[in-house]
Structure 1
Amino acid sequence: MAEAGNTLTLETTKGPVVIELRPDLAPNHVAHIKKLVDEHFYDGVAFHRVIDGFMAQTGCPHGTGTGGSKYPNLKAEFNAEPHVRGTVSMARAQSPDSANSQFFICFDDARFLDKQYTVWGKVVSGMENIDTIKRGEPVRDPDRIVSAKLS
């Protein structure tokens, strides 16, 4: 069970998804995500890139994969946590230190990403809802995060 304040619930258009935050793996990323959640940054944001058998990506305010928050990018906190089903990890551009607000949830094992992307959480319930998110790159009429809340 996650300690108080380290559980993130995403209410999505497909149903709730509960993520256990892992500050032990990526303390700066978790603090950044919490700040964005407190500011309602993720409310209404689309799952803009969803690849069957791979992952569902969200966190772009424009819904295109081109944007981030008003805050500076984060320094990478790569760790040994494996990219497996339910892993929540930061998306980034080519630079390792370019993660900002976009993240993805793995549908299946994606071990080729290990130690190249910052893992900061794990889905502990609602993975069946992630499984039903509409696929596409970009997604037409995408599913969304209705609201994000910490507990």
Structure 2
Amino acid sequence: MKASFALALSAALLAASAPTIAADSPATPSAVVAQAPATAWRAIPADDLLVMRVEGGRRVVIQLAPGLSPGHVGNIVKLAKAHWWDGTSINRVQDNYVVQWGDATEKKPMPPGLSPTSPDDYALPLATRRLAVTPLPYPDPYAPSTGFVDGWPVAMDGSAAWLPHCYGYVGVGRNMSPDAGTGAELYAVIGQAPRQLDRNIAVVGRVIEGMEILSSLPRGTGELGFYTATEHKVPILTVRLASALPKAQQPRFEMMDTQSASFADYLRLRANRKDDFYDRPAGGVDLCNAPVPVRRAP
């Protein structure tokens, strides 16, 4: 292993593969989330929230991951501050795959100061970093190891860590390699997790509110689900960082601390649920099937 990891491995997580559930523990993952104490939650900074208003004033909130995708997220922040997405549109909806948005003309000038990107930005090098990792102790077909860092699921190979393509996760559209996209063209996964895209495209965040808006849009009939000239591209009214909105309009969210005892219990039950509905515990859970709980701040 080239990288050094500080592993946050609680006793509860060590027992994650055990099919038994303590009698005094909540019987379901949702019960763990509902009963988690305030100390098990961390506020999501307003600077990390991207608020997109689409046709009809409907709101989609995206949590950005600057710690795991710094280059592309830095560009996205600059684009939001420049109001670049205002007046653009959702241009592609491919069934069981992605919703994509940006400038349909591909001619809108970019704001100054965007940083160059490359395929090297798809993963975070670990040679000079120590990550506090809550490991997921189950095999993964796409990475030697997986776990959670600062509230995010990550896949790892010993030298790098990267965000996976899970349902609701947001990536950066690009042309053929070595182009890596600027961050202006974004998409959200609306189908089965396309993990084969991991480390082939930059993942920059996740939708934490309004996913039902994106996933229920009419599918495009053009190639790859792009809307044709006669189909309705969904207008994007505004995209702002939450921190740029008036205080009264700023959405406030919290995510579960992935090093907390509550999260360890949650993971155990996601892998080994045995309650009134489930007869057979699965004995495992994949990275995308253990979404980190996010809630509106009390």
Q: TM-score if structure 2 supplies the norm length?
A: 0.47
CA RMSD of aligned residues (A): 1.8
Letter aligned with residue 164 of structure 2: P
Residue 29 of structure 1: aligned partner: 72
CA distance in 1, matches of 2:180, 2:85: 18
Deviation at 1:2, TM superposition (A): 2.1
Larger CA Rg, structure 1 vs 2: 2
Residue 104 of structure 1: aligned partner: 187
Letter aligned with residue 5 of structure 1: D
Structure 2, unmatched stretches of 5+, are: 1-42, 124-161, 243-298
CA distance in 2, matches of 1:82, 1:51: 19
Residue 17 of structure 1: aligned partner: 60
- How do residues 76-91 of structure 1 correspond to structure 2 at under 5 angstroms? 76=119, 77-79=121-123, 80-91=162-173
The question of whether the paired residues in 1 share the 8 Å contact of 2:62 and 2:206 is answered with: yes
**Residues 67 and 49 of structure 1: CA distance in aligned 2, closer, same or farther (over 3 Å):** farther
Deviation at 1:75, TM superposition (A): 2.3
Letter aligned with residue 53 of structure 2: E
CA distance in 1, matches of 2:90, 2:175: 17
Percent pairwise identity:
30
More helix by percentage: 2
> Which fold has the larger relative contact order, with Cα–Cα distance below 8 Å and residues 6 or more apart in sequence?
1
Deviation at 1:141, TM superposition (A): 1.5
Q: TM-score if structure 1 supplies the norm length?
A: 0.88
CA distance in 2, matches of 1:68, 1:84: 30
Partner of 2:122, secondary structure, is: coil
Match of 2:94 among 48, 51, 56: 51
Deviation at 1:72, TM superposition (A): 6.5
